[in-house]
Amino acid sequence: MSMPTDHPLPPYQLAAGKLRKQIQEGKLKPGDRLPSSRELRAELGIANATVHSALRVLREEGLVYSVPNRGTYVSDPSTDITGEFKIDYNPPAWYSAAKERAASGDELAPSPVTEALTQTLEQLRQMAAEITALKQHVATLEGKVHQLEQKDAR
């Protein structure tokens, strides 16, 4: 699976595309370990920095995750990019209506359990947003490090 030399896309994007296709076709399944950087370098005929850039792209897309000193693995699609279970709970419609009526003094407040769950959900959503922002910042910093490494290699 060597890389074409006359393609308009950069080699790291081509490499990411080939790995992405293997994941999408099920050749690499959730939890599978990707080949090592050395193996990918040999298989694709690309430089080590190119392999790392391709893996960075796939990490940013949430398709893979890396474990230091262990390798890179295919992500489980039932989890989001933070690696945590997706937050898909929305309070029932009656809860919002009861809360509005309680605020106006017309009715008792919603149950304490529902109130606690809703507050916890909001905190989780805020933390997920903060994690996403941090991951974007880390990806930006990784890109800058990659650029510096390429300059040093010249």
- Write the DSSP string, 59-94: HHTTSEEEETTTEEEEPPTTB-TTSSBP------HH
Mean pLDDT by 10 residues, the chain (154 residues): 71 92 91 93 93 91 85 75 50 66 64 75 78 81 84 80
**Cβ within 8 Å of residue 21, ≥6 positions away:** none
Q: Measure the CA–CA gap between 138 and 144, rounded to whole angstroms.
A: 10
Question: What is the distance, to the nearest Å, from the Cα of residue 28 to the centroid of all Cα atoms in its chain?
Answer: 17
Instruction: Judge if pTM exceeds 0.75.
Output: no
Q: Which residues pair with 56 in a beta bridge?
A: none
pLDDT recorded at residue 98: 67
pLDDT recorded at residue 130: 80
Among left, alpha and beta (phi > 0; psi -120 to 50; other), residue 78 is alpha
Please work out, in degrees rounded to the nearest 5, the angle formed at the alpha carbon of residue 30 by the alpha carbons of 27 and 35: 60
pLDDT recorded at residue 82: 46
pLDDT recorded at residue 52: 94
